[in-house]
Structure 1
Amino acid sequence: MKDLITPLRDADENNMLHLARKSATKERLADVSGAALQMQRELLWFKEVRSMIPPSYRERKNKDGLTPRELFTEEHKELIVEGEKWMKGTASQCMVVAALIATIVFAAAFTIPGGYSQNYGIPIFYRKSIFVVFVVADAISLFLSSASILTFLSILASRYAERDFVESLPTKLMLGLATLFLSITTMMITFSVSFFILYHKEMKWIPIFVSVFAITPVLLYVVLQYHLLVDVIRSTYGSRYLFKPGKQFLYYVNPRV
C-alpha cells in the first residue's frame, strides 16, 4: 500500500513530500516547549516522510518550480527566526547564572574557612578530611560552571541552520542545563561543608540547619526547569523514535476478521 500511495501527486504536481512541508497546527506544537524544539519536531517529520517516498521524487518540482525542501524552508522561515530568538534568550540567561557561580566558587577557593597559617601559609584545616571535600566540591563547581558557560557560548555563536535544530542545538542546550544544575548542586555542597569545618566541635546544629536549607536552591531549580529539561531530552533522544516504521499504519486490519 505504501509503495502505491507515496508516488501519488495532486493537481499542482505536489507529491507527499511537498505536502509534508506544511507546519503543524498550533495545538500540536504547543505540546513542545520552545520554538527551537518545535522546529526540531517539524524537521524530524519532514525527514521521515522523505525517507518513505522514492528517491527520484525527493527533488521533483511542482507547478511553481519549487522542490519540497524549498517549500519547507519557505513555510518555516518564521519558526526558524523564533527558534533562534528563543534559543539565544535561554542561553544568555543561563550563561549569566553560570558566570555568577564561577565567580563565587573561584573566590571561595582562596577565602577558605579558617584562613591560612601565619607561619607556613597553608590552610589551617588542611589535615581534616572534611576540608578535602570542601576543596574538591569547590573545584568541581568551578569546572562545571565553566563548562556551562562555554556550552551556552557555543549556542550563541551557532549558525542556526535548519539542520542545527535537529540535534546540535538541543544537545548543547541539554548539556548546558545539566552542567548548570550540577554546578549549583556542588556550590551548595561547598557552602554547607564550610560550616561543618568552622563548627565541627560546638554548635553542630548550625551546619546541619544550614545544610537542610542549602537543598532549597537545588530543588527550586529542578521544579522550575524540570519541564524544559525533560522536553529537551525527549526531543533530542526520544523524537527519533516517534515515527518508527513499525508504528505507521496507512490502514487498519481487524485481527478478528
Structure 2
Amino acid sequence: MKVDDLGFQVHQAVFEAVKRGNVEFVTEMIKSIPELAWSRDINGRNIFFIAILNRQEKIFNLLHGLTDARKMKVISPLDRFGNSMLHLVAMLAPSEQLDGIPGAALQMQRELQWFQEVESIVPPLFKDLKNSDGKKASEVFSQQHADLIKEGEKWMKDISTASSFVAALIVTIMFAAAFTIPGGNNDKGAPIFLDDTFFVVFIMSDSISLFFATTSVLMFLGILTSQYAEYKFLTRLPKKLIFGLSLLFISIAAMMIAFCSAIAILLKNSSIEGVMIPIISLASVPVITFALLQFPLLHNIFKFTYRPGISNRKIQQVLY
C-alpha cells in the first residue's frame, strides 16, 4: 500500500469518526498527528467544520484544546462553496440529531444555541460574510429553519391550548368552591367551621389553586399570542412554558388538598369517618398522573433551557 493511500485512509477514518462523534479516537489521532486538526476533505472542510455540520458537541469542543494560533487556523478557512464555519452551523442539523430532542420548539432552541456558540468564536466580520450563493450566515439560518419554526410554533400552541383549558377549568371550580364552603354559613353569614383547622387549610389551598391556575392561564395566553420570532425560541418561550406548567401542577395539587380538607370537615366525628382515609388517598391519583405525564416534558424543557451551553472550556487540558 502506498504512503499516500495510507494517509488518505487515515484522513477518511478521522472524518468518519467525527461524523459519528467518536471523540476518543479523534482526540488520540490529533495528539499523534496534529496536522489532522486543519486538514480538509474534498469539500474543503476540516474536522471542526464537519463536527459543527453534524452537531457533534464533544468533537467541536476539542477546538478549545488548541493553541490560539492553531485555533484561528481551523476557524478562518472557507469551504469550496464559500461557507464559513458560521454558515455551516446555520444549516439545519441532520435528522438523527434533531430526533434525539423532544419537540420542535426544543429542537429550534438547540439550533439557536449552536449558532450563538459558533458566532461567539468566529471573527466578527464573518457575520456579514457571504457565501458563493450570496447569502450571509443569518440568512442561511432563517431559510434552513423556516419549517422548523412553524413546527415549533404549532408544538408550543398545542401544549398551551390543552394546558390553558385545564387551568381555566380549575379556575372555574375553585372560584365556585370559595363561595360554597363546606358546612355552610351561620345566621350572621360567617362560616360554621371558621375556627376549624381543616377549614383554614381548605381556604388556603383553594386560594392558592385559584391564583396559580389563573396565572398559568395568563402564561399560556402569552404563548398563544406571542410573535414566534427565531430568537424567542432560545429562552423566552421555553421559560413561559416552564412557568405555566409548573403553576398548573401546583394548582392541581392545591385543588386536591382543598378537596381533602373539605372531606375531612364534613366526615370527621361522623359514623363514616373511616372512609375519609381511602378518599383522601385517591385524591393523590390526579396529581401523580399529571406528574407522570407532564414531568418528562417539563424536565426536558428545563434541561435544554438552563443546562450549560455547547462550549466546554475544560477540554483545554485534552490537547496541547
Q: 1:31 aligns with which of 73, 95, 100?
A: 100
Match of 1:183 in 2: 251
TM-score (norm 1): 0.94
Q: How much is the aligned-residue C-alpha RMSD, in angstroms?
A: 1.5
Question: 213-222 or 51-60, which moves further after superposition?
Answer: 51-60
Matches within 5 A, 1:101-120: 101-117=170-186, 119-120=187-188
1:26 partner letter: S
Counterpart mapping for 1:1-257 below 5 A: 1-117=70-186, 119-202=187-270, 203-238=272-307, 241-246=308-313, 253=319
Secondary structure in 2 aligned to 1:221? helix
Structure 1 residue 13 displacement after superposition: 1.6
CA distance, structure 1, for counterparts of residue 279 and residue 192 of structure 2: 23
Report the AA paired with residue 163 of structure 1.
Answer: Y
Cα deviations across residues 35-78 of structure 1 (Å, max 9, x unaligned)?
00100000000110111111111211112211000001000000
* CA displacement 1:196-235 (0-9 Å, x = unmatched): 1011112322221111000000000111112101101001
CA distance in 1, matches of 2:295, 2:204: 27
The number of residues matched between the two structures is 250
Structure 2: runs of 5 or more not aligned: 1-69
Partner SS, residue 90 of structure 2: coil
Aligned-partner SS, 1:14? coil
- The CA deviation at 1:186 is 0.2
Aligned 8 A contact 1:174 1:229 in 2:
yes
AA in 2 matched with 1:166: L
- Deviation, 1:30, is 1.8
Following TM superposition, the consecutive aligned residue runs of length 4 or more in structure 1 with deviations greater than 4 angstroms are: 251-254
Counterpart of 2:38 in structure 1 is: none
What amino acid maps onto 1:244 in structure 2? Answer: S
Amino acid of the structure 2 residue aligned with 1:243:
I
Tell me the distance in 2 between the aligned counterparts of 1:174 and 1:222: 14
Looking at structure 1, the residues matched to 263 and 275 of structure 2 have their Cα atoms a distance apart, in angstroms, of: 7
* TM-fit CA distance, 1:27: 1.9
Based on CA coordinates, which of the two structures has the bigger radius of gyration?
A: 2
Q: What is the TM-score of this pair, normalised by structure 2? A: 0.76
Q: List runs of 5+ in structure 1 lacking aligned partners.
A: none
Q: Distance in 1 between matches of 2:287 and 2:301?
A: 19
* Counterpart contact for 1:170–1:236, Cα < 8 Å: yes
In structure 1, how many angstroms separate the alpha carbons of the residues matched to 2:81 and 2:309?
A: 30
Q: CA deviation at 1:245?
A: 3.8
Contact 1:195–1:206 under 8 Å retained in 2: no
Question: Could you tell me whether the CA contact under 8 Å between 1:145 and 1:179 is conserved in 2?
Answer: yes
Structure 2 Cα separation of the partners of residues 129 and 152 of structure 1? 34
Give the whole-Å Cα distance in 2 for the aligned partners of 1:71 and 1:139.
50
Determine if contact 1:36/1:80 at 8 Å carries over to the other structure. Answer: yes
